[in-house]
Structure 1
Amino acid sequence: MKNNSPHNRKGTGRNEKKTFNKESFNKKNSIKSGDKKDNYTKKTFKSSPTFRKKSIQKKEEKEGTRLNKYIANSGVCSRREADLFIQNGVVKVNGNIITEFGYQVMPGDEVFFDGRYIRPEKNVYVLLNKPKGYISTTKDEKARKTVLDLVTNASPYRLYPVGRLDRQTTGVLLLTNDGNITKKLTHPSHEVKKIYHVTLDKKVSLTDFEKLIEGLHFEEGLAKVDKISYIEGCPKNEVGVEIHIGWNRIIRRMFSKLGYEVEKLDRVMFAGLTKKNLKRGYWRILTELEINNLKML
């Protein structure tokens, strides 16, 4: 007697399909044990765990950071320089000297550079309009005020001034924890442009303009300005000076050698950065565009 219940119809359908695949189809195509079908099945089974293993390895690699990048992100030096330090055995991870370039630093690892504990920091770039009376160093033996006293709330990381402005010089000063940018902007080969507003005790003659452009001799070598001119709307004792050398107090020394005394010295531009809309003693974080421009210099 034919059973028309839905349950039995489903069961019969499955059984018939199973019988067809195993017996009719395999018999017709002469598939034997151990031939291509069995091999394909085995390969599929074996490849699955391997795939998962690779996925796990890739995930673990992503969690780590290459040692040279870790050092560079700590503000110590560039990646290329870090490779040299690693090669020379300067770097330790968890107490062990590491000389392998591709070594991965994992979360929780302790990294020491030349005996000093380091950790990656987010790069911060702060522009300060420096007032008089502040030293452009991280600390002063005489307990005088430093520019860091003005930017204490700018970053949770330790900042360093890029170059120096003497105590009485005002104007644009960049502070950052980016070692690469600091080295780039202070190295003479990059010839980073700086513009100063100089106020002197007397009118500057055109003859002295020429002497400053031709250059004056000092212990460090020949010092010369790139451009010099009177400032429109100001007395003739005020001049604008463009220069790229960064020797200590060089502008004051150059004018002093010609018989002038610098009464005021204000840096109005450094590496394309200006103090526009920034009051004296105030600071601001650089924009992404400004940061990119610095990296392209």
Structure 2
Amino acid sequence: MRLDRILSNSGYGTRTQVKALIKRKAVFLKDTVLTDAGINIDESDIRYITADGKPICFRRHIYLCLNKPDGYLTALSDSRLPTIAEFIPEEFRYKGISPVGRLDFHTTGVLLLTNDGDLSHRLTRPQSLKPKTYLISHAGLPTGDDEVRIFSNGVVLSDIPGETTKLSPAILEPISETVCRVTITEGKTHQIKRMMAQINRPVLTLHREAFAGIRLNPAQISGQIRELEAEELRQLLDTSTPPSMN
């Protein structure tokens, strides 16, 4: 792995900041000063790297779960609107962390972030069929057996003129007169809002309770971010397990 990437993943800043660190000859491999940012370091030797006289703390991949608040873009920078970047702890800021998929500006709840690009791709590609569960407050009449059946058969979207789209089966669970829970395995743009509009139940608020089996901790308040626990990570990495709608 390249030296600049190792240092960046270890929290020493952007590639530019890392190159400045290397330029002032502050990085060593055992007793040898490292002056080439692009040099490839054998993974077995990473533990012997020091920066400013201290051993680096290298972690190849980081896996985080954010309880996304309302009113934030699922992006790391924007010139006009607040983004989820402000919730990423300083220690992870320069480690290539990015969101896995996205939640709309006003949608809250589970949002995964990682620098594991392979896992992120596997979780978000259309073929992944990873379940996503949402708690929805809506306008209109209460949902009931008819709506449950429509969702289980696969909602047919007709909101785009001249185009109809048959969605995969989904689970709708009525909770109260104005609240329901929906689990889907697709990830089309504004899918939940479009599905609810199709049955004349406009969405008022939307909260993602779970993604690929990952849920918020009971004490995880809005805006709080945490690292995934070992069992959660094993669940995500186990791509051989068929997706569950439970």
CA offsets, 1:190-210, max 9 Å, x none? 101111111111312321222
Q: Which runs of 5 or more residues in structure 2 are unaligned?
A: 10-33, 41-57, 240-246
Name the residue aligned to 1:293: 235
Residue 264 of structure 1 pairs with residue 211 of structure 2: no
* Aligned residue runs from structure 1 range 1-297, under 5 A: 108=36, 110=38, 122-141=60-79, 143-153=80-90, 155=92, 156-202=94-140, 203-214=142-153, 215-217=155-157, 221-231=165-175, 235-277=176-218, 278-297=220-239
Q: Deviations over 1:207-240 (max 9, x none)?
A: 1222222221355832244211123xxx232111
RMSD (Å), alpha carbons = 2.8
Q: Provide, for residues 67-113 of structure 1, a one-character-per-residue CA deviation record: whole Å limited to 9, x for no partner.
A: 9xx99xx99xxxxxxxxxxxxxxxxxxxxxxxxxxxxxx9946179x
Q: SS at the partner of 1:239?
A: strand
CA 1:261 to 1:157, structure 2 compared with 1: closer, same or farther past 3 Å? Answer: same
Query: Where does residue 45 of structure 2 map in the other structure?
Result: none
In structure 2, the CA distance between the partners of 1:226 and 1:275, relative to structure 1 (3 Å rule), is same
Query: Which has the larger Rg?
Result: 1
Counterparts of 2:189 and 2:230, CA distance in 1: 30
Distance in 2, matches of 1:181 and 1:269, equals 17
Query: What CA distance in whole angstroms lies between the structure 2 residues aligned with 1:172 and 1:144?
Result: 20
- Say how many residue pairs are matched: 187
Contact 1:121-1:157 at 8 Å conserved across structures: no
**What does the per-residue CA deviation read over 1:3-60, in whole Å, with 9 as the maximum and x for residues that have no partner?**
xxxxxxxxxxxxxxxxxxxxxxxxxxxxxxxxxxxxxxxxxxxxxxxxxxxxxxxxxx
* Aligned mates of 2:86, 2:123 — CA distance in 1: 23
- Relative to 1, partners in 2 of residues 1:256 and 1:154: Cα closer, same or farther, differing over 3 Å? farther
Superposition misfits of 4+ residues, deviation over 4 angstroms: none
SS of corresponding position for 1:189:
helix
TM-score by length of 2: 0.68
AA aligned opposite 1:229? E
Q: Which one has more relative contact order, counting CA pairs under 8 Å at least 6 apart? A: 2
What's the CA shift for 1:290?
1.6
> Contact 1:126/1:154 (CA < 8 Å) preserved in 2?
no
Distance 1:111 1:257 in 2: 56
Normalised by the length of structure 1, the TM-score is 0.57
Give distance in 2, aligned partners of 1:276 and 1:121.
24
Q: Which amino acid aligns with 2:183?
A: E
| Residue number in structure 2 paired with 1:61 | none
Q: Is the 8 A contact 2:147 2:172 kept in 1?
A: no
> How far did 1:270 drift?
0.6
| Closer, same or farther: CA 188–264 of 1 in aligned 2, 3 Å | same
Query: Following the alignment from structure 1 to structure 2, what is the Cα–Cα distance between the partners of residues 151 and 138?
Result: 9
How far apart are residue 188 of structure 1 and its match?
A: 1.4
Write out per-residue CA displacement over residues 161-182 of structure 1, whole angstroms, 9 at most, x where no aligned residue.
1011101111000011110110
Q: Which runs of 5+ in 1 are unaligned?
A: 1-64, 76-105, 113-119
